[in-house]
Structures are given as structure tokens and as C-alpha cells.
Structure 1
Amino acid sequence: MDGVIVLVLLGLIFLFIVTVMAKTVRIVPQARAGIVERFGKYKQTLPAGLNIVVPFIDKVRYLIDLREQVVSFPPSSVITEDNLTVEIDTVIYFQVIDPVAATYEIANYIQAVEQITMTTLRNIVGGMDLEQTLTSRETINSGLRGVLDEATGKWGIRVGRVEIKSIDPPPSIKDTMEKQMRADRDKRAAILTAEGQRQSAILTAQGQKESAILSAQGDRESQILRAQADREAAILRAQGEGQAIQTVFQAIHDGRPDQSLLAYQYLQMMPKIAEGDANKVWIVPSEIGKALEGLGSTMNSLQGIPQEVDGPVKRVDMGPTQPQVAEARGEDAEVSKANAAVEAAIAEAQSAANPRKPAEPEQVGSTDPSIDPGEVPPAPAP
């Protein structure tokens, strides 16, 4: 019986010792702080790690988290300056820097931060219209952070950041804003389209202008070159005609023609006169028989052609064999000189062929006095 009592007493003593040890040794986690009270009054703040307290006298009342915390508050209704209600969601980043103040200066610092945030939002947004509220998030954030820092400093809390998650206007206002935004986009699209068409028209006009200028310049140069080519061709033709006239006159002087040669040429031209389908009637001169008999010996003298040619043959200087083309535009005077030279050569050839004034020309034709000298006698009937 005595042994059982001793064992019970030993068990009670061991249990008391364990309880005392548990009350004496307190382990505080990292980034935590323990608030110790002695008989209901603040005694000390336990840091992280192993700590010894007086059992049954000291008590760890609160364990404060010293890490930065994030709290998202539910949407709060705020009225803007233009009497529109918007729903604003906020997020607060804060950190406890004084555990004692956070424990004894405020009962619930999270609820206090939420209420200060709501009232500050109403003050800030109440001075803005809806357009400013939607576009001034940074201004609202800065205002909230300044007010919260000032209000929570005595609570041992430091507000790091304040963020606006969303600003939701009423559905009717949202629909109106969407229509306005759609109209604004349509307006900008129309403006951009008009500017594009204007720019396209300007570029097209500029292209047409440059094309017209280039075409006009091309036509001008083409006309200039064509005029130069026509001018040089005319010069070449004039020089060629002059050369041909000089050659013909030179050949006439070299051949010394007489009446027999001219009669022979006259007979050669007769078939050509009769050529053609339209020549239905061919009038044969009465002198054809005489021409055939003497080939000009019995024909009356032709004006300007002597019966016999005496004297030496005089050569006519025909000038250069190759025609000279004016190379410059202002050489019309040279063309005139060439034409004058051709006319001088022709005059010289005529003066050489007729050294003296010819006698009065005799009427060539029939010797019948009843026939008019200017009238061609009719052809004999076949």
C-alpha cells in the first residue's frame, strides 16, 4: 500500500516538472514576435528562437507576424463628382514594425486599415469625375498611401503599397462608354481613311503632274529633233537639187546638143505621151514625117538651140561632191549662200550656152498660112 502511494506521488511530481518546463521554455518562430504579459501587464517582447519565462507568472499573450502582409478588401461603392457610383477594389501591402503598438494601440489593425481605405477613397474619388477616376489610378494610389502611412504610423504598421484592382462603373454607364468608344474608334477610322485617300490623291496628282511634265519635255525634245532633222533634210535636198542641176548643165555643156539630138529626144518622148488608159485620142503632129526623114535636119530652128555648136567645151565647177549639212541651229545664212551659189551656177551655165542674144524665134509648126501658128494641126485620118 505504501509503495503504491509513493509511485503516485512520483508520477505527480514528474508531471508537475514537465508542466513547469513547458511553461518556462517558449520557442518563437522566425519572423514572429511574442508579447509577454505578467499578471495581465506587458512584460516584454520575445524574439525568434528559444526563450525562458517565469512559469505561471509570465504568459505569452500574442504572437505577432512581422512579415509583409497582403490584404484584399471587398469592393466599395464610391460616388464621383458627377454623381456616378463606381465599385473600387483595393489591395493593401503592409508590415508590422512595432508589435507592442500593433497589440495595444489598436484592437484590430486590419479592420482599421480597411475602414481608413474606404473613407480615403470616398474623399479622393469624390473630387474627380468618372473620366478622371478611370484614368487616375496612380493619383488615387499615392493619396491612399499617404493617408494610410500617417494614420497607421502610431499603430506600429507601415503601409508599403496600395493598389487599385478594378474600377467598375454602373452597367448603363459601361454600355454608354462602350458606345462612345466605338463611335470614337469609328471617327478615328474615318479620319484615317480620309487622310489615306487625301494622301493617295495628292500622290496620284503629283505623279500625273510629273508624268505630264516629262511627256511635255519629251514631246518638246522630239519636236526639236524632228525639226532639226527636217531642216537638215531640206538642206540636203536643196544641195542635192543644186548638185543635180549642176550635173545636168555640165552634161549639156559636155554633149554640145544640136537640133538633131533634140529631134531624137522628141521622138523618144512620143510613146510616153501616149501611155495610160485615159488617153483615148492621140494627136500626131504634122511634123512627124519631116522628123522621121531628117531627124531634125528639115525641122525649123528651135529657140535657143543652135544648129551647130562651135568653140571649146567649157567645164562648170560643180563644187564639192558630198553635200554639206549645217551642224548648228543658227546656220540658215549658209543655206541661203548655197542656194545663191546654185542660182549663180545656173546663170553661168545659161550665159555660157547663149553667148549672144538670140534672134527672134521662128514659129515652129506647119508652113500652111491658113493654120494658126499657136494651133496644133489635126492628125491625119488613118
Structure 2
Amino acid sequence: MTVALALLGVLAIFVILLLAQTIRIVPQARAGVVERFGKYRTTLQPGLNVVTPFVDRVRYMIDMREQVVSFPPQPVITEDNLVVSIDTVIYFQVTDPVAATYEIANYISAVEQLTMTTLRNIVGGMDLEQTLTSREDINRGLSGVLDEATTRWGIRVGRVEIKGIDPPPSIKDSMEKQMRADRDKRAVILTAEGQRQSAILTAEGNKQAAILNAEGEREARILRAQAEREAAILKAQGEGQAIQTVFQAIHDGQPDQSLLAYQYLQMLPKIAEGDANKVWVVPSEITKALEGLGSAVHEVAGIPQHTGGVKHRVDMGPSLTELEEQRKANSSSADAEVQKAIAAADSAAQGRSTDLPPPPPSSPPAEEPPA
């Protein structure tokens, strides 16, 4: 009984081992390479697979997904003999698990070495400036070479990216100084342009202000000149009317020697008003002086000693109260009268003769009696 149970146990264990060797489950996006007696037999697809136990063996389980491998920085010499460190990232995918297993021993190491050699060939034909600014060109060159070389390994290189390019510390310092100088230069240029624009705008503003001030001064001068012209015209008209009135009054009053003596007496204080007149002697015999004055004036041609006829009084015009009332009554028509006066003055300035009456003919000088 005990022996039978032992045999059944051994048989069960053998069955379990047999099933484990026969049934193979392959995960999704994986591929199993099966060998029979060390020779490639078939490739297992994802899912449940059956193999011959103790004869077939799943040697490799290949990952069919796209993989990303980052390589450490590699020293590369540029065309101008500067050493830069470049680290890359490779995106690849296994397309043929059999070729990836039997065509190359370690495809990741092979891709790394191929990337390093290709990168040195590409960067060796560029200077530092081109290396730092031509990442896309380097990426395209690496992708083309790697894709062509890895096709027979059953690998497809999707993309190659440059993670970083690190120049030497001395070159970094020089580049920073150059960048700082360029920024300072741009700052100075922008400041100069700002000052230039400010100066231009200020000059334009001053120009406009000067033009406006000149126009305003011109209009003000024109208005002042017109006002002075009108004032001068009115003043000249007033003086002319006053002279005409005085002249007419003198002729109407028929002046004689007494009037001239009176005018002489009125002029005596004005004669003494000069600063140089320190001493002025009044004649003691004023009567004789007046007689002498009368006799002297008697000899003036054209002025009689005594005049006859009716004496006419000069009309002095209305009083101040009447003038104020007349001004208030005629305030509405004052502007029109002024314009008429200005027009008349303009006509007179252009050559019109005045309407003053001619002076009376002077009488011939009296003949002196013979001595």
C-alpha cells in the first residue's frame, strides 16, 4: 500500500513536470526563441504555446516594444581641436527576434559603440560653433547611419537625440563673456536708440511750439499794428479837426494886435521854464514893454492893428454832460462811424487832398514913410 502511494506521487510529479515543459505562456509584446538540441526551431508568439518537453527549450525571451537607452557622455574632438562631451539617447525597437538573437551577441552595446564612432565622425567635421548650433543635423546623421547598420541585426532605430553638449570650462567662460558683451552691446544700442527717439520727439515738439509761438506773435503784432494804425488815424483826424476849428475861429474872430500881445504874455512863463534859465529879468516898465511890443507887432505884415465889424464867438461845442448823454445815445453807431473814419483815412493816405479852406491873401506890406 505504501509503495503504491509512493508510485502515484512520483507519477503525479512527473506529470506536472511534463506539463510545465510542454505548455509555455508568452506575454504580450514578447517573442520566445525556441531551440531544439541547441538549434533554432521556432519563435513563440504571445499567448499559450505548446512545445515538445525535454527536447525543445525557450532560449531567449525578446522584448518587442520600443526601448530607450541613454548613453553616458562621450568625449568628442571638434574640427578646431576642442574637446566637448556629448551624451545621446537612442530610441530603437526589435523587429526580428531571431536576428537580434543570433546575428549579434549584445545589440545594446553594439548600438552604443556605433553611436559613439558615428558621432565622432560627424562632429569631427564641425567647429565648436557649428556643433553647438547644429543638433538637428547631428541627429539626422546619427539616425541615418544607425538605421542602416542595425537593419541586419533585426533592430530599427527610430530616433537619436542629443541630450547635451558640454564644452570645456574655459570655453564656457569665454562664451559667457561673449554673451555678456553682446547683451551689453544690445543694451547700449537700445539706450542710444531710445535717447535718439527722445531727442527727435523733443526737437519736433520744440519746432511745433516755436511755429505756434511765431504765428501767435505774428497775429498779435498784426493786431497791435492795426490798433495803432486806427488810433493814429483817429488821433490825426482829431488833431486835424482841432486845427481846423482853431484856424476857423481865428479867422472868424479877426485877430488884432491886442490878441498878439495877450499871446505874448502867455508865452513868457514858458520861456522861463528852461533848465539853463537861471536868472530871468522882468522889465520894470511893463507898460512901455507892451507899447514896444504893440509897435513891433504893428509892423508885422498882414495883421491889422484894429479890426472892425462884428465879433463872432467861437462855438466851443456841447458841455461835458451833453457829450456824455450824446455818447450814450450814439453808442450803437460808434463802430460804424469808426469804420467810416478808417476808410476815409485810408483814402486820404492814398493821395486824396484835404478839404481845408485856402488861407486869406496877405495884404501887401505897408510902405514906410520917407525919413
Change (3 A) 1:226 1:52: same
CA offsets 1:172-192 (integer angstroms, 9 cap, x no match)? 222222222223333333333
Alignment of 1:92-171 (within 5 A): 92-171=90-169
Letter paired with 1:58: D
Change (3 A) 1:225 1:80: same
Q: CA–CA distance in 1 between the matches of 2:196 and 2:92?
A: 57
Q: CA–CA distance in 1 between the matches of 2:308 and 2:104?
A: 156
Alignment of 1:29-44 (within 5 A): 29-44=27-42
Which residue of structure 2 aligns with residue 372 of structure 1?
none
Corresponding residue SS for 1:308: coil
Corresponding residue SS for 1:33: strand
Q: CA deviation at 1:49?
A: 2.1
Which residue of structure 1 aligns with residue 80 of structure 2?
82
Q: Does 1:324 align with 2:324?
A: no
Q: CA–CA distance in 2 between the matches of 1:78 and 1:134?
A: 13
Letter paired with 2:349: V
Alignment of 1:263-274 (within 5 A): none
Which residue of structure 2 aligns with residue 360 of structure 1?
365
Q: CA deviation at 1:161?
A: 1.2
CA offsets 1:229-271 (integer angstroms, 9 cap, x no match)? 4434333332232222223334445555556666666666667
Letter paired with 2:24: R
- Cα contact 1:36–1:42 (8 A) shared by 2: yes
Q: CA–CA distance in 2 between the matches of 1:326 and 1:36?
A: 129
- Cα contact 2:253–2:311 (8 A) shared by 1: no
Which residue of structure 2 aligns with residue 335 of structure 1?
349
Letter paired with 2:123: V
Change (3 A) 1:54 1:288: farther
Deviates more, 1:4-13 or 1:174-183: 174-183
Letter paired with 1:63: M
How many residues get paired?
Answer: 340
Change (3 A) 1:321 1:160: closer
Change (3 A) 1:310 1:203: same
Deviates more, 1:274-283 or 1:12-21: 274-283
Alignment of 1:196-345 (within 5 A): 196-252=194-250, 281=280, 283=282, 286=285, 304-306=302-304, 307-308=306-307, 310=309, 322=338, 324-326=341-343, 334-337=348-351, 340-341=353-354, 344-345=355-356
Q: CA–CA distance in 1 between the matches of 2:142 and 2:111?
A: 11
CA offsets 1:77-115 (integer angstroms, 9 cap, x no match)? 111011111100101111112222222222111111101
Corresponding residue SS for 2:341: coil
In the superposition, the TM-score normalised over structure 1's length comes to 0.74
- Cα contact 1:258–1:309 (8 A) shared by 2: no
- Cα contact 1:302–1:361 (8 A) shared by 2: no
- Cα contact 1:274–1:282 (8 A) shared by 2: no
- Cα contact 1:91–1:163 (8 A) shared by 2: yes
Q: CA–CA distance in 2 between the matches of 1:175 and 1:44?
A: 59
Q: CA–CA distance in 2 between the matches of 1:54 and 1:226?
A: 127
- Cα contact 2:91–2:160 (8 A) shared by 1: yes
Q: CA–CA distance in 1 between the matches of 2:41 and 2:269?
A: 158
Q: CA deviation at 1:227?
A: 3.9
Q: CA deviation at 1:207?
A: 4.4
Letter paired with 1:70: V
RMSD: 3.8
- Cα contact 2:302–2:365 (8 A) shared by 1: no
Letter paired with 2:164: S
- Cα contact 1:71–1:93 (8 A) shared by 2: yes
Q: CA–CA distance in 2 between the matches of 1:324 and 1:75?
A: 106
Which residue of structure 1 aligns with residue 55 of structure 2?
57
Q: CA deviation at 1:195?
A: 3.8
Corresponding residue SS for 2:342: coil
Q: Does 1:9 align with 2:26?
A: no
Deviates more, 1:119-128 or 1:55-64: 55-64
Corresponding residue SS for 1:325: helix
Change (3 A) 1:283 1:362: farther
Change (3 A) 1:362 1:94: farther
Q: CA–CA distance in 1 between the matches of 2:367 and 2:209?
A: 72
Letter paired with 2:57: K
Q: CA–CA distance in 2 between the matches of 1:7 and 1:188?
A: 95
Q: CA deviation at 1:62?
A: 1.4
Q: CA deviation at 1:25?
A: 2.0
